[in-house]
Amino acid sequence: MLKKVILSITFTCSVLVFSTPAGTHAGKLGLVSAWTFEERRGDEIKDVVGRNDGEIVGKLSRTFYGKFGSAIRFSGKSDSYIRIPHRDVFNAASYTFVAWVKLKPASWQYIVWRNGDVWPESEEVRHIDIWIHDAGYPVFMWTAGQHKGQLDGKTVITDDKWHHIAKVYDGDKVMMFIDGLLEDQKASGGTLDTNESPIWIGARPEGIAATGLIDEVGFFTQALSEEEINVVKNSGLSDFAEVEAAGKVTTTWAYLKTQ
């Protein structure tokens, strides 16, 4: 009898999993895209939450020595980067962008750029823009109409050690978190400009790129709190990539194991 119950529930769980339309669930805390770089080969970069897959442009290498599993190694050449096609969700009214970086002490580096495939851009409508100053600290930039905003960090992160970066926009202000701590914040100066540009990870057109490792890049459609950022930082994005349906199946099997 128990065997029949298990088989019945197993079939039901399978139907729940495979009949759910792809892409209809987001991860926890509004995580809509997570690029964890666990692919072993090839140029495809999988989004483990949504359908926002990207690709390697140029030549980048993979390493098993990431912050969580594998990571991508960047050589400092701007013709080699990860390109994520535009999706409207990346123009979210509030968002959190996160990444783990381990950068070497090189001058002028880029973490993420989203303002077109040409530099200088024909129109400055920056939404996500994080680069590293020659002095080694991170810089966040954005535009809101005629307002050009900028946050300069205090922590030098070009020391070949892992650092967690989070840019939070809550609709009113932009906040910079480094290693889980709030470095600075400023009023956005209005609603951030939107665009239809792809996301570049690890470079900006015409000359500036990251030198070192990047891992665990994620985009949330919520302005995460400091506590939430630290949970994400410590747990890794995979813990937040689970969708509700998968969680229900896990709960069912947990129940069966106790019977």
- Please say whether the beta carbons of 62 and 37 come within 8 A: yes
CATH topology of domain 26-242: Jelly Rolls (2.60.120)
Where exactly are the structural domains of the chain? 1-23+243-259, 26-242
- Whether a cis peptide bond, with omega within 30° of 0, leads into 120 is yes
Please give the full DSSP string across 3-68, using - where no structure is assigned. Answer: HHHHHHHHHHHHHHHHSSPTT----GGGEEEEE-----SSSEE--SSSS--EEEES--EEES-SSS
Strand partners, 66: none
pTM to 2 decimal places: 0.85
What is the per-residue pLDDT for 243? 57
- Angle among Cα 146, 170, 185 to the nearest 5 degrees reads 75
Q: pLDDT-based confidence at 242, cuts 50/70/90?
A: confident
Q: Is 54 exposed, middle or buried (0-12, 13-18, 19+ CB in 10 A)?
A: buried
**Interval 6-25: pLDDT, tens:** 444 333 333 333 333 334 35
